[in-house]
């Protein structure tokens, strides 16, 4: 690794507060909305335990306070307890984001002893048949239920995540009811975001506006019932920006708060950014501080000097930063363009076309393109 360069530290750039450690792209599930790169099987060798420890130490020294262990499926990594222990020693607040497959009661206890603060378990649906069909695993649902209960019994807050799309959005009441019965503390109902495999399957995943409005009404109604019953369960409903007229402030601004390190050590301002035609640095070649403050990749879309019209003269550019660069690239072929979600974008018609297509989509689960089983299937040990 090269010696750290003298940081230029632009005064408007603070430290990364949230570090996402994508430990691996390997996963036992084959979800058709997987956000991992389409060519994930071509990723070079994963960082070693020692390399990850170095990344964690550098991130904490820079001021990162929250650390997410993600993937793929992070449970694939046999050194996960060691990494959790190191993160605790460094003073991070740690979050494990998992499918629950490969998790056991013994591992839950071991992670607690190592100092893990938070476990989030993902589901695909509220019933076994649909859940397992989407996940590409015949036993996924029962395992998830068991591990959600184990997490709760171990004293963790129960945090459940459901990716919402046109094939499960009709289950909204059933999904929340399941979470209520399990004693969930937080439920994230995250409508599918169209990157990676989800972009490939967008026409088969994107709900119609009518479906979305119905689901949102059901969530709000359930919130009122929970409040009346004195329940402390929190529902977080993340709606798709494809039905908005202004783009989201993606990642709170490029290279602003979030720093992602991919399995091979590539450092990114968001987990999808490696699809862009930009060269991003690797933690094997540069110190994290130099990557964050000095690298061309991280400075590429900071500020607003890069913006073309209509963003350059827009009085809302300080709110949304021109929207999502990855979305602009996927939908227009040029990451510099205004996010087409914005009604001011000259490419907004592509969003309108996607909405119309969602109103008439008929594809079933069996017609979706699932993550490549031959390249990613892994059977857990222990």
318 class by beta-carbon count within 10 Å (0-12 exposed, 13-18 middle, 19+ buried): exposed
HSE of 152, CA atoms in CB hemisphere, 13 A: 17
The Cα–Cα gap between 163 and 337 comes to: 28
Q: Say whether 27 counts as a known binding-site residue.
A: yes
Q: Say whether 34 counts as a known binding-site residue.
A: yes
The values of phi and psi at residue 225, to 5°, are: -65, -40
Q: Which of 218, 195, 221, 219 is nearest to 206 (CA)?
A: 195
Q: Which of 193, 249, 263 is nearest to 51 (CA)?
A: 263
Contacts of 30 (CB under 8 A, 6+ apart): 135, 136, 137, 370, 371, 372, 373, 376, 377
Q: Measure CA of the first residue to CA of the last residue in the chain; give whole Å.
A: 34
| Residue 148 DSSP one-character state | H
- H-run or E-run covering 220: helix 209-229
Tokens representing residue 203 in the block: 């026409």
Angle of helix 140-153 relative to helix 105-114, nearest 10 degrees, comes to 40
Binding residues: 27, 31, 34
Binding site for [4Fe-4S] cluster: residue ranges? 27, 31, 34
């Amino acid at each position: 690794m090269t010696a750290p360069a003298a940081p230029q530290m632009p005064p408007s750039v603070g430290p990364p507060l949230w570090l996402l450690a994508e430990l691996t792209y390997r996963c036992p599930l084959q979800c058709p909305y997987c956000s991992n790169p389409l060519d994930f099987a071509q990723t070079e060798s994963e960082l070693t335990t020692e390399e990850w420890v170095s990344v964690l130490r550098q991130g904490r020294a820079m001021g990162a306070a929250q650390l997410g262990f993600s993937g793929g499926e992070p449970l694939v990594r046999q050194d996960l307890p060691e990494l959790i222990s190191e993160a605790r020693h460094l003073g991070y607040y740690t979050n494990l984001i998992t499918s629950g497959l490969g998790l056991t009661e013994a591992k839950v206890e071991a992670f607690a002893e190592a100092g893990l603060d938070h476990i989030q378990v993902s589901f695909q649906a509220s019933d076994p048949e649909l859940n397992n069909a989407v996940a590409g695993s015949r036993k996924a649902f029962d395992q998830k239920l068991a591990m959600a209960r184990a997490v709760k019994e171990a004293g963790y807050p129960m945090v459940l995540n459901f990716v919402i799309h046109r094939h499960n959005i009709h289950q909204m009441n059933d999904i929340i009811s399941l979470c209520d019965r399990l004693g969930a503390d937080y439920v994230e109902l995250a409508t599918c975001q169209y990157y990676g495999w989800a972009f490939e399957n967008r026409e088969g995943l994107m709900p119609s506006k009518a479906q979305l409005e119905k689901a949102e009404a059901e969530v709000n109604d359930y919130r009122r019932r929970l409040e009346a019953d004195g329940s402390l369960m929190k529902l977080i409903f993340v709606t798709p920006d494809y039905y908005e007229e202004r783009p989201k402030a993606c990642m709170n601004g490029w290279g602003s708060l979030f720093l992602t390190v991919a399995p091979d050590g590539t450092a990114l301002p968001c987990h999808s950014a490696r699809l862009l035609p930009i060269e991003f640095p690797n933690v094997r070649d540069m110190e994290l501080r130099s990557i964050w403050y000095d690298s061309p990749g991280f400075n590429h879309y900071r500020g607003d000097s890069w913006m073309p019209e209509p963003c350059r003269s827009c009085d809302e550019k300080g709110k949304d930063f021109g929207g999502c660069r990855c979305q602009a690239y996927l939908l227009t072929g040029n990451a510099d363009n205004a996010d087409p979600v914005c009604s001011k974008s000259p490419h907004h018609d592509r969003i309108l076309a996607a909405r119309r297509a969602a109103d008439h989509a008929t594809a079933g689960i069996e017609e979706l393109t699932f993550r490549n089983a031959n390249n990613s299937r892994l059977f857990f040990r222990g």
